[in-house]
């Protein structure tokens, strides 16, 4: 199914806030574009196109003093808004309006320990996704992993409900012997869909660590944001997984956990190991998948296990059409119950 390579007029997860320190800058490729992130001395983050408009050298090769970025080649300086503030080679009497020189500035938003970026040409609309029940909190645990694949395959793998017993076979999660039929209620959600609140599957042993009778709701929204909200008695856990395209064939998956469980802080080293192993299993399968995809085979999507993948393509196409036609987004997802074995 043909879909736009990248949506642009939408918020993308860029970086964990903790990865960008005051007075520092960090270069990154996003959607195939070079982006320079920096945090000024006052703590405000900004993002510029990582190319000097003079001779094309990356601005990230230069220096940042906590206020302005200085180009490594000729010392041209740019502020956080992308405006040129100095050209050292100019001498007195040489009329040149440096205010006309600008580097593209990308809007960024920061909330709950996450830095989001708007890569579109127009002004940003709405707010980035917010984690329910976690106001004022930052992630307790964050892991970032590179997936050498196009973003669509990473997203579809993220929402695939049938691969668990085969890819994630572990004593603490599930095994191939635990496969059984499941039926889950789904419905539309902002720019995506939701698996409505339900009791987690009995073959997911990790949920038993929460105690009580946990209930979970899983939402997906464009461009590649999955949020799982778990309620267990008075405690809450939110798992945020974001899929961000670096370029046409490389994707970054960030997995963040928020929790109100005090004991989980003490177990963080162990939990980090399991998170990395879980993500690594998904990455390993994607690497194997690329061997077959290199031959451009015809792919199949079946019901009901692959319906979420179908929705993803439909959502992405509808979002782009709505932007192109200047109209409201019409969610193609309807209330339904999906059944599969896993």
Peptide bond into 104 cis (omega under 30): no
State both tokens at 270. 């162990």
Beta bridge partners of 141: 257
d(CA 342, CA 63): 52
Model confidence pLDDT, tens digit, residues 192-249? 999 999 887 654 555 555 556 789 999 999 999 999 999 988 889 999 999 999 999 9
**What was the pLDDT predicted at 171?**
56
* Confidence check: pLDDT of 314 > 70: yes
pTM assigned to the model:
0.92
**What was the pLDDT predicted at 209?**
56
| CA Rg value for the chain | 22
Residue partners of 122: CB distance under 8 A and separation at least 6: 9
Residue partners of 247: CB distance under 8 A and separation at least 6: 29, 31, 32
**What was the pLDDT predicted at 214?**
84
Model confidence pLDDT, tens digit, residues 243-300? 999 999 999 999 999 999 888 888 899 999 999 999 999 999 999 999 999 999 999 8
């Amino acid at each position: 199914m043909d879909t736009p390579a990248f949506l642009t007029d939408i918020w993308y997860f860029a970086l964990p806030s903790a990865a960008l320190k005051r007075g520092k800058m960090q270069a990154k490729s996003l959607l195939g574009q070079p982006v320079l992130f920096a945090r000024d001395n006052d703590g405000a983050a900004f993002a510029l196109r990582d190319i000097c408009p003079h001779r094309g050298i990356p601005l990230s090769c230069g220096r940042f003093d906590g206020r302005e970025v200085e180009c490594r080649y000729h010392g041209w300086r740019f502020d956080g808004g992308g405006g040129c503030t100095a050209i050292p080679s100019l001498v007195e009497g040489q009329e040149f309006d440096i205010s006309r020189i600008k580097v593209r500035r990308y809007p960024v938003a920061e909330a709950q320990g996450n830095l989001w970026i708007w890569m579109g040409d127009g002004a940003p609309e709405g707010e980035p996704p917010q984690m329910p029940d976690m106001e004022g909190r930052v992630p307790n645990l964050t892991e970032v992993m590179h997936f050498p694949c196009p973003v669509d395959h990473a997203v579809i793998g993220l929402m695939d409900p049938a691969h668990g017993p085969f890819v994630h076979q572990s004593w603490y999660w599930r095994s191939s012997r635990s496969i059984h039929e499941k039926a889950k209620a789904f419905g539309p959600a902002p720019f995506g869909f939701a698996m409505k609140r339900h009791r987690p599957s009995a073959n997911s042993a990790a949920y038993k660590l929460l105690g009580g009778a946990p209930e979970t709701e899983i939402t997906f929204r464009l461009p590649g944001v999955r949020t799982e909200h778990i309620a267990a008695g008075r405690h809450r856990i939110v798992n945020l997984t974001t899929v961000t395209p670096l370029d046409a064939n490389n994707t970054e998956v960030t997995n963040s956990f928020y929790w109100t469980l005090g004991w989980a802080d003490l177990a963080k080293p162990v939990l980090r190991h399991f998170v990395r192993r879980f993500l690594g299993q998904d990455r390993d399968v994607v690497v194997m998948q690329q061997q077959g995809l290199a031959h451009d085979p015809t792919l199949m999507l079946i019901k009901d296990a692959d319906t979420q993948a179908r929705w993803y393509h439909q959502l992405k196409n509808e979002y782009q059409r709505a932007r192109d036609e200047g109209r409201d987004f019409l969610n193609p997802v309807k209330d339904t119950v999906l059944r599969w074995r896993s």
